[in-house]
Amino acid sequence: MGAATGAPAAVPDAAPDVGADLRARMRALSPAKRALLAAQLAERGLLHYLDSGPERAAGDPDAVTVKQEALWRLHAGGDDGDFYHAGIVFRFGPRTDPRALAAAVSRAAERHEVLRSAYLADASAGGSVRVRVLDAGELPVRHLSLEAADEDGALRRAVESALADGRERFCLDRPPVRCRVIDARPSAVLLSVVAHDIACDRYGLRTVLLPELCSELGGGAAEEPGAVGPEDRQDGGPEQLRLRDVAEWQRESARSGLIAEQARRRARVLRAETVLAMPDHGDRAGERIVLRIGEQVGPGLARVARAAGTTLFAVVLAAWGSVVARFHDRDEVAVGCCTSGRHRPELAGVLGNLANTLVVPVPAAAGRSSAELVAVTRDRLVEALGDGDAPFETVFGALTGRAGVQDQDIRVRLTLDEDDGQALPPGCTGVADLDFGHAKSSLSLELTTEDAGVRGSLAYRPADVPQQRARELADLVERRLTELASGT
């Protein structure tokens, strides 16, 4: 999952305990006085001190996040295909016992409610969407045996099987997650996980679920189900955040707290005319043009980022946005920046779809030096990251005046995956993402970093963007990245 990482350190404008002190004082005030103080803090841009972020909610809230509700309504309206499915395959060593792996998955379902949650409309609450958490046994772990000549062949065959699983429709009144343990010994043992986006994304499966499984499997050497490891290796506990805790905080904060303030601020900053209007023919089939990026481009872009006091993401965003803006004769263009949504430390262990798309206006390069372009883009990205709790659906809906917004509605996107170079957890010998053949938007620059280099492709929808125009854009992006890397 691509992420706009590297947010700058916040500038301290008060002592670190101010927020806790204010929250304690607020609890002692009458409702009328609390409302008055909150309004005064909002006027001064200090409302964030009253919001401590997601916390474990009392009882069992049944709220869903803004993204989950949008996804449920799309599904209920008939948009229920594999465009909204995320899938991944994990490969483990041949000594891994398939029964131990299945048991580890079942225990993960006990820790992470999202793996066993169903989503229903509540008629008593005006048809709002609610989550219902089922028993851990409601997540079946299927088993499959197949033959493979080697571990790479096992991974390929497991991907084929998982794609078939992933193309089947989910019913959201049951947990929309499919897990399959695949016994391809003596080559490998594998696990495929396919989930609807309403449950979780690939980033969470890779960064939360996989390390937990590897920890329980003891580096892949568990020979018997009982040898997976002691209970104290399991994450969780009574204070572990659940996705519905995040949803409860998000809903409350969107009404009167930090998220409401962030959404208003984004609405003041963004202009509707920066949103590129492109055809939408409803065909999400995607094509990719592999970019020809020289070996020296990655290190060169990294030097530019260091000189500007920013991240590689900001530099790539400046290049991509300026190319699109100039190609379409715009002064600037809004780019959807895909983030993991895990900028708060308390969200690190939460399994779920926390991804958020930031809307960042990027200027054309005309009349600006490369350094100026990167600096302007950096500052605008910093502003968007500072308001990163505000859901894309809320921000983009206010910007365009449209209801029922979804991620693909912003036609120009950027993802930069800086995780590919990280070592796999002990016991896991390979990971493969499932590609269902879609493009997430009309135009998307999808890059990864590897061994200090940058590689990637321009993804587009042929139904919306003619192939020739896509190739022209790809050529321009290659040229712009090379120019930035060389300091021109």
pLDDT in tens, 386-444: 888 999 999 999 898 887 788 889 999 999 987 544 678 999 999 999 999 999 999 99
* Average per-residue pLDDT for the chain: 86
Quick one: 320 and 441 in the same domain? yes
**pLDDT, greater one: 395 or 487:** 395
pLDDT at 256: 73
| The two three-digit tokens of residue 90, written as one number | 């994990």
Taking alpha carbons only, the member of 414, 415, 396, 412 closest to residue 464 is 412
* In the predicted structure, residue 467 carries a pLDDT above the cut 80: yes
Please give the backbone phi and psi of residue 288, each rounded to the nearest 5 degrees, phi first: -130, 135
| Beta pairing partners, 359 | 336
Q: Tell me the mean pLDDT in the region 161-182.
A: 97
Taking alpha carbons only, the member of 37, 39, 48, 38 closest to residue 14 is 48
* In the predicted structure, residue 8 carries a pLDDT above the cut 60: no
Does the residue 248 lie in any domain? no
Parent domain of 98: 66-229
Quick one: 219 and 297 in the same domain? no
DSSP annotation of 130 reads E
Please give the backbone phi and psi of residue 399, each rounded to the nearest 5 degrees, phi first: -65, -40
Does the residue 75 lie in any domain? yes
Q: Which residues of 156-195 are buried (b: 16+ CB within 10 A; e: fewer)?
A: ebbbebbbebbeeebebeebbbbbbbbbbbebbbbbbbbb
How many domains is the chain partitioned into structurally? 2
pLDDT at 41: 63
Amino acid 182 reads I
DSSP secondary structure letters along 329-350 = T-SEEEEEEEE-S--SGGGTT-
pLDDT at 36: 67
* In the predicted structure, residue 50 carries a pLDDT above the cut 90: no
Quick one: 189 and 273 in the same domain? no
Does the residue 287 lie in any domain? yes
Q: How far is CA 424 from CA 103, 195, 202, 475, in A?
A: 21, 22, 15, 34
Amino acid 260 reads A
* In the predicted structure, residue 88 carries a pLDDT above the cut 90: yes
Q: Are 166 and 63 in contact (CB under 8 A)?
A: no
Q: Are 414 and 2 in contact (CB under 8 A)?
A: yes
Would you state the torsion angle of the CA atoms of residues 223, 193, 354, 349, taken in this order, to the nearest 10 degrees? -10
Quick one: 204 and 312 in the same domain? no
* In the predicted structure, residue 2 carries a pLDDT above the cut 50: no
Of the residues 229, 247, 279, which one is the last residue of a structural domain?
229
Quick one: 270 and 221 in the same domain? no
Quick one: 262 and 382 in the same domain? yes
Q: CB neighbours of 215 closer than 8 A, spacing ≥ 6? A: 229, 233, 425
Quick one: 217 and 267 in the same domain? no
Q: What share of the chain is helix, strand, coil (3-state, %, to 5)?
A: 45, 20, 40
For the segment 330-383, what is each residue's pLDDT rounded down to a tens digit? 999 999 999 988 878 888 889 999 999 999 999 998 788 999 999 999 999 999
| pTM score | 0.85
Taking alpha carbons only, the member of 360, 289, 253 closest to residue 4 is 360
Q: Cα angle vertex 449, ends 445, 451, to 5°? A: 155
Does the residue 357 lie in any domain? yes
Q: CB neighbours of 484 closer than 8 A, spacing ≥ 6? A: 300, 301, 304, 315, 318, 319, 370, 374
Please give the backbone phi and psi of residue 189, each rounded to the nearest 5 degrees, phi first: -120, 135
Quick one: 266 and 222 in the same domain? no
Does the residue 243 lie in any domain? no
Does the residue 458 lie in any domain? yes
For the segment 111-142, what is each residue's pLDDT rounded down to a tens digit? 999 999 999 998 776 789 999 999 988 889 99
Euclidean distance between CA atoms 49 and 349, whole angstroms: 24
Go through the chain and tell me how many residues it has: 488
Of the residues 210, 229, 248, which one is the last residue of a structural domain?
229
Does the residue 17 lie in any domain? no
Quick one: 209 and 278 in the same domain? no
Quick one: 276 and 393 in the same domain? yes
| The two three-digit tokens of residue 380, written as one number | 């605008």
Euclidean distance between CA atoms 422 and 65, whole angstroms: 30
Beta strand ranges found along 237-364 (DSSP E): 287-290, 332-339, 356-363
Q: Are 324 and 333 in contact (CB under 8 A)?
A: yes
| The two three-digit tokens of residue 4, written as one number | 């706009």
Does the residue 428 lie in any domain? yes
| The two three-digit tokens of residue 208, written as one number | 């939360």
Domain of 315, CATH number, reads: 3.30.559.30
Q: Are 178 and 193 in contact (CB under 8 A)?
A: yes
Q: CB neighbours of 456 closer than 8 A, spacing ≥ 6? A: 290, 291, 293, 445, 446, 447, 448
Quick one: 214 and 264 in the same domain? no
pLDDT at 134: 95
For the segment 283-312, what is each residue's pLDDT rounded down to a tens digit? 999 999 999 999 999 999 999 999 999 999
Domain of 129, CATH number, reads: 3.30.559.10
Strand order in the sheet with 188-196: 141-145, 177-184, 188-196, 85-92, 428-433
Quick one: 150 and 296 in the same domain? no
* In the predicted structure, residue 35 carries a pLDDT above the cut 90: no
